[in-house]
Amino acid sequence: GTTVADDSNQKQQQLDQYRVDSTNTRYTTDQGVRIDDTDNSLSIGERGPTILEDFHLREKVMRFDHERIPERVVHARGSGAHGVFQVYESLAEYTCADFLSDPSLVTPVFVRFSTVAGSRGSADTVRDVRGFATKFFTRQGNYDLVGNNFPVFFVQDAIKFADFVHSVKPEPHNEIPQAQSAHDTLWDFVQLQPETMHTIMWLMSDRAIPRSFRMMQGFGVHTFRLVNAEGRGTFVKFHWRPKLGTHSLVWDEVLRIQGNDPDFNRRDLWEAIASGQYPEWELGLQLVPEADEHKFDFDLLDPTKIIPEEEVPLRMVGKMTLNRNPDNFFAETEQIAFCTANVVPGIDFTNDPLLQGRNFSYLDTQLLRLGGPNFQQIPINRPVAPVHNDNRDGFHQHMIHTSHTSYSKNSISGGCPATGVLAGDMNGVFRHYTERVEGEKIRKRSPSFGDHYSQATLFWNSMSPWEKEHIVKAFLFELGHVERRYIKEQVVERLTNVDTGLAAHVAAGLGLPAPTARTTNHGKSSPALSQAGQPSGLAT
Ligand code: HEM
């Protein structure tokens, strides 16, 4: 039997096979041929032309010319670390995932934190969402929890994702601004798509400028489904809670740190782990019985909504510790490939239309980013669970399959494990949750996705006076960079639906006319801002 320690080291042992230490070794070409001079190209005479037969020059130049691969289309800037996850007590009542049902199991993980909008070399401390992606190398296969540090998302449907990202990214004509939320296109998108309002409130809050990756919460965002051995489903929201607490920078610090140390968050994570200060997160679950699917005043399938913890409390079920820095940034942090569709037995999807699109998108982009269908064989991506199937060939195939057949089922060499000689063994098989679905083929969102403001208001009302002050200042900074006046006015109109007081402060700070008071403000009035929260004297 495997001991606990063996399991937690399994991924590391796998990676160890690929480690190359080139210190104090003899220099060779990629063909393993020793070279005595790597400073001078081969030429005719000391001052003559370089000649074509210089395979060493050719190889060295060629390899440099081909070093770059596409950066991630979003979340390009990131930092990663290895660690372990362990569940406190068995969750077998809810899920047949063994890493969640066996408290003696220590599962290796790799986590990548990221910003969203900036390019690979952009600064860490920008106002942005942070990615929080975890790959669990479980005995039943890889499970990816590809989350963010916000519990909600900007759009409800994956078909709008490219539009949203294009509005956030630098503008097409001049590639300005870098990693900033302060421009017309984002705010134009916001005013035209009111479903963004809840997440925009988070973006304007201090949650968008975390002090450290070690001090961030993480969220799976979507409602997922746990499935137990009997096939019973339970809705679930995933949360990561940092043991160090949740902490943010303030805007003045952000501006200074960007100049002093663009690697601020990356360095912090690296140095903490290098010095043995291992960051920890607890995994928390909000569990909703299927019978309660429709008991909320929002739709569980709507990724712009949280389930308030007053309604469904968080149950802390396990702990993750990050305890080892990568050996090589490119090999591990850059080449790791997360995908929401990477699930294991006991974890399944819901019909959240954002999630459904994500399941398609990650594999699609990685085929390009990582050069073809065999990217799962890149060491960091390999499951520790054995892989056996009839998938063959393709660019960068590393495996030497020795079977004389590559189709299932077959009578010659046994075929696939689940369909061949071991067909009787259905232990640990992934079975899609059985759900009855009926309806017309239709391009129309359910009216249950229609309330774009209540939870934005809830968020605002949950803020302390100084947090509100920071939010107002953030709106003034970001909207202050917007050139088109009508866009600012429209955003203020939207804010009126969140909170009339907030809208009034933002309008006054921007020098816009006071917005028209709304009766649609969910019957709530704005608690007054603190004295310091008055917009007078705030930069626009
Ligand atoms: C990358 C989270 C929505 C497409 C990422 C990453 C995270 C993330 C954490 C970085 C993964 C890494 O570190 O390598 C989320 C969350 C979403 C969301 C929490 C909403 C709840 C979407 C949607 C799409 C999408 C709707 C497309 C329809 C992508 C793509 C990448 C990415 C293409 C780059 C992946 C790669 O190159 O490996 N996302 N995302 N995301 N996301 Fe999302």
**Cβ(370) to ligand 1 under 6 A?**
no
Judge whether 79 and 120 are in contact, CB under 8 Å.
no
Best mutation site among 75, 167, 202 for ligand 1, i.e. most ligand atoms within 8 A of its Cβ?
75
Which residues, 6 or more positions from 492, have their beta carbon under 8 angstroms from its beta carbon? 503, 506, 507, 510, 512, 515
Residue 421, pLDDT above cutoff 60: no
Residue 525, pLDDT above cutoff 60: no
Q: What is the mean pLDDT of residues 385-407?
A: 93
Q: What is the mean pLDDT of residues 68-89?
A: 98
**Bond preceding residue 409 cis, omega within 30 of 0:** yes
Hey, what are 11's tokens?
Answer: 């991924």
Best mutation site among 73, 146, 354 for ligand 1, i.e. most ligand atoms within 8 A of its Cβ?
146
pLDDT at position 116, please?
Answer: 97
Dist. CA 355 → ligand 1 center (Å): 10
**Cβ(358) to ligand 1 under 6 A?**
yes
DSSP codes joined into one string, 56-77:
HHHHHHHHHHT---PPPSSS-S
Hey, what are 150's tokens?
Answer: 């916000």
pLDDT at position 428, please?
Answer: 86
**Cβ(406) to ligand 1 under 6 A?**
no
Residue with the smallest CA separation from ligand 1 atom 36 is 72
Residue 536, pLDDT above cutoff 70: no
Residue with the smallest CA separation from ligand 1 atom 7 is 131
User: Which range has the top average pLDDT, 20-24, 170-174, 456-460?
Assistant: 456-460
**What is the spatial distance between Cα 457 and Cα 282, in angstroms, rounded to a whole number?**
28
- Comparing 126-140, 250-264, 335-349, 511-525, the range with the smallest average pLDDT is 511-525
Residue with the smallest CA separation from ligand 1 atom 13 is 112
Dist. CA 330 → ligand 1 center (Å): 19
**Cβ(366) to ligand 1 under 6 A?**
yes
pLDDT at position 415, please?
Answer: 58
| Sign of the CA dihedral with 205 first, then 81, 345, and 100 last | negative
Looking at residue 191, its amino acid is Q
Dist. CA 362 → ligand 1 center (Å): 7
Q: What is the pLDDT of residues 277-330, one digit of tens each?
A: 999 999 999 999 999 999 999 999 999 999 999 999 999 999 999 999 999 999
Dist. CA 281 → ligand 1 center (Å): 21
Ligand 1 atom with the smallest distance to the CA of 148 is: 19
Ligand 1 atom with the smallest distance to the CA of 133 is: 9
Q: Categorize the per-residue pLDDT at 416 as very low, low, confident or very high, splitting at 50, 70 and 90.
A: low
**Cβ(161) to ligand 1 under 6 A?**
yes
pLDDT at position 531, please?
Answer: 39
**What is the spatial distance between Cα 508 and Cα 502, in angstroms, rounded to a whole number?**
10
Give the residue, 417 or 332, on which the prediction is more confident: 332
Report CA 217 to chain centroid distance, whole Å: 12
Ligand 1 atom with the smallest distance to the CA of 155 is: 26
For the question of whether the overall pTM of this predicted structure is more than 0.90, the answer is: yes
pLDDT at position 1, please?
Answer: 41
**What is the spatial distance between Cα 304 and Cα 312, in angstroms, rounded to a whole number?**
17
Residue with the smallest CA separation from ligand 1 atom 20 is 153
pLDDT at position 450, please?
Answer: 98
pLDDT at position 196, please?
Answer: 98
Dist. CA 313 → ligand 1 center (Å): 27
Dist. CA 349 → ligand 1 center (Å): 16
Dist. CA 61 → ligand 1 center (Å): 34
Residue 419, pLDDT above cutoff 60: no
Q: What is the mean pLDDT of residues 387-403?
A: 94
Residue 4, pLDDT above cutoff 80: no
Q: At what angle do helices 353-369 and 161-168 cross, to 10 degrees?
A: 70
Q: What is the pLDDT of residues 334-364, one digit of tens each?
A: 999 999 999 999 999 999 999 999 999 999 9
Residue with the smallest CA separation from ligand 1 atom 26 is 158
Ligand 1 atom with the smallest distance to the CA of 112 is: 13
**What is the spatial distance between Cα 154 and Cα 203, in angstroms, rounded to a whole number?**
10
**What is the spatial distance between Cα 415 and Cα 393, in angstroms, rounded to a whole number?**
17
Q: What is the pLDDT of residues 158-197, one digit of tens each?
A: 999 999 999 999 999 999 998 777 789 999 999 999 999 9
Report CA 98 to chain centroid distance, whole Å: 23
pLDDT at position 423, please?
Answer: 57
Ligand 1 atom with the smallest distance to the CA of 73 is: 34
**Cβ(78) to ligand 1 under 6 A?**
yes
Task: Indicate the SS3 state at residue 164.
Answer: helix
**Cβ(333) to ligand 1 under 6 A?**
no
Strands 315-324 vs 107-115: parallel, antiparallel or unpaired? unpaired
Dist. CA 187 → ligand 1 center (Å): 21
Give this complex's ipTM.
Answer: 0.96
pLDDT at position 523, please?
Answer: 39
pLDDT at position 180, please?
Answer: 72
Judge whether 388 and 417 are in contact, CB under 8 Å.
yes
Judge whether 112 and 149 are in contact, CB under 8 Å.
no
**Cβ(77) to ligand 1 under 6 A?**
no
Dist. CA 307 → ligand 1 center (Å): 22
Hey, what are 189's tokens?
Answer: 């998108």
Catalytic residue ranges: 75, 148
**Cβ(133) to ligand 1 under 6 A?**
yes
Residue 517, pLDDT above cutoff 80: no
| Sign of the CA dihedral with 537 first, then 198, 166, and 122 last | positive
**Cβ(148) to ligand 1 under 6 A?**
yes
Report CA 85 to chain centroid distance, whole Å: 18
**Cβ(145) to ligand 1 under 6 A?**
no
Dist. CA 424 → ligand 1 center (Å): 38
Ligand 1 atom with the smallest distance to the CA of 132 is: 9
Residue 403, pLDDT above cutoff 70: yes
**Cβ(354) to ligand 1 under 6 A?**
yes
Residue with the smallest CA separation from ligand 1 atom 5 is 75
Residue 526, pLDDT above cutoff 80: no
Which residues, 6 or more positions from 471, have their beta carbon under 8 angstroms from its beta carbon? 201, 204, 205, 460, 463, 502
